[in-house]
Amino acid sequence: MDIVRGFALFGVLMVNMYGFGADSMAWNSPTDQLAFATMRVFFESKSWTLFSMLFGFGFAVQLQRVHERGFNILPIYLRRLAVLFALGAAHALLYDGDILMLYAELGLGLLVVRRLPKRMLLLLAIGLMLVFPLARFVSAWDQPAELEEIQSVGEARAQLERAQRNDVYATGSLAEVAADNASAIPADPLEDVTSPESGLAVFAMFLLGFSVGRSGVLRDIPGHTVSIARVRAWGLGFGFAAMAAERVLVATAGYAVFRSQQAGPGVQFAGDFLFAFGIAALSLGYAATLILAAQTPRGKAALAPLAQVGRLALTVYLTQTLMFTTLFYGYGFGQAFRLGPGAVTAWAVMIFAVQVAACQWWSRRFRFGPMEWLWRCLTYLKWQPLRLRSDSKR
């Protein structure tokens, strides 16, 4: 699962970096269009979906360990969430796309539903996934006259130029950025339920991951190879088919998930349904593919660097923000709203490559990542050994 987590972190990095102007339609060269389409089809919304599933899966693993050891999970788990929320709040001052606060808040919900039967958990997850397409459908019928005109390339370029001159990320100091981002604290799980990335959708992925973790399938992967292969086939098959169909609606009917659109309510609902369930299916397909690949010696060796990244997930997530905000923000290299999809993709690959190398170096010397160590110390209210024992004797 560390391999899956490492893969998800690369997608999170790329998608987060696109939010500083690379997602604008102003970038219309063939290279930029290809880079954007790659990000859009393979990573956008799939990365946080996969990462959220892993959070729910991790909770199931924690519950099992607690049950085996026979102690109360509540004090430790609540402290764990409180520390996560505090780290997320600090992170949000630098980047308002933080997801840690939301995870901490929704993590409380897992405590509430942890004893529900698996069938009920899955039905609840499906119901929450339907909220986005249904809410947008109702909204479209209530306000049909407010369909926005599709922005032209020239207007998009002018918008980027204004942002370069006026946006706080492009021109502000660290203090000004933090002051502007303070409004993102705390996260609101019910904010904008008409978005496919609302807190309700995140909690639905928690429930899917929790169900998988509680099923015990991944405690005996060799014994469940056929089932995992079936998830891979259906997940990738339906997921890519849904993404392809959604792309057809974009090209032929003016549909869009995140941009202005001209599609009618019926087409909009179809596209939203395909997107909501397609990203979940594709994320499950990705996970199954990586899990099965890691069962072979060659696959395990090839994917080992991702496992090192996954073990240091919190540290990697936070240092990604430090690196890309330094690249984009005005007090750094000032590249916000100046880099297109091709350049941003290249930067994401380079940043992740540096992180892979750093994680390998760190893991040979230390038991935990620095942020994982801090999180663990504050959770258990006890100083945790950091250096590996063999390294401490040198």
pLDDT band at 378 (very low <50, low <70, confident <90, very high): very high
Query: Using H for helix, E for strand and C for coil, what is the string for 76-130?
Result: HHHHHHHHHHHHHHHHHHHCCCCCHHHHHHHHHHHHHHCCCCHHHHHHHHHHHHH
Question: What's the pLDDT tens digit per position in 2-18?
Answer: 999 999 999 999 999 99
Using alpha carbons, select from 49, 55, 60, 63 the residue that is nearest to residue 104.
55
- The DSSP bridge partners found for residue 366 are 387
Task: Please list, in sequence order, all residues whose beta carbon lies within 8 angstroms of the beta carbon of residue 119, skipping any fewer than 6 positions away.
Answer: none
- The DSSP bridge partners found for residue 387 are 366
Residue position matching structure tokens 């039967």: 117
CA 285, distance to chain mean position in Å, is 16
Q: How far apart are CA 48 and CA 363, in angstroms?
A: 25
Using alpha carbons, select from 197, 167, 151, 188 the residue that is nearest to residue 20.
167
DSSP 185-242: -S--TTS-TTSTTSHHHHHHHHHHHHHHHHHTGGGSTGGGHHHHHHHHHHHHHHHHHH
Of 53-57, 90-94, 215-219, 316-320, the range with the lowest mean pLDDT is 215-219
- At residue 148, the pLDDT reads 52
Using alpha carbons, select from 209, 332, 204, 243 the residue that is nearest to residue 44.
243
Question: What's the pLDDT tens digit per position in 256-309?
Answer: 888 767 778 889 999 999 999 999 999 999 999 999 999 999 999 999 999 999
Classify residue 117 by burial, with Cβ atoms within 10 Å: 0-12, 13-18, 19+: exposed
- At residue 143, the pLDDT reads 61
* 249 to 245, 253, 272: CA distances (angstroms): 6, 5, 10
Q: How far apart are CA 16 and CA 257, in angstroms?
A: 17
Q: How far apart are CA 52 and CA 103, in angstroms?
A: 8
Classify residue 132 by burial, with Cβ atoms within 10 Å: 0-12, 13-18, 19+: buried
pTM of the model: 0.92
The CA-to-CA distance between both ends of the chain, in Å, stands at: 31
Question: What's the pLDDT tens digit per position in 167-179?
Answer: 999 999 999 999 9
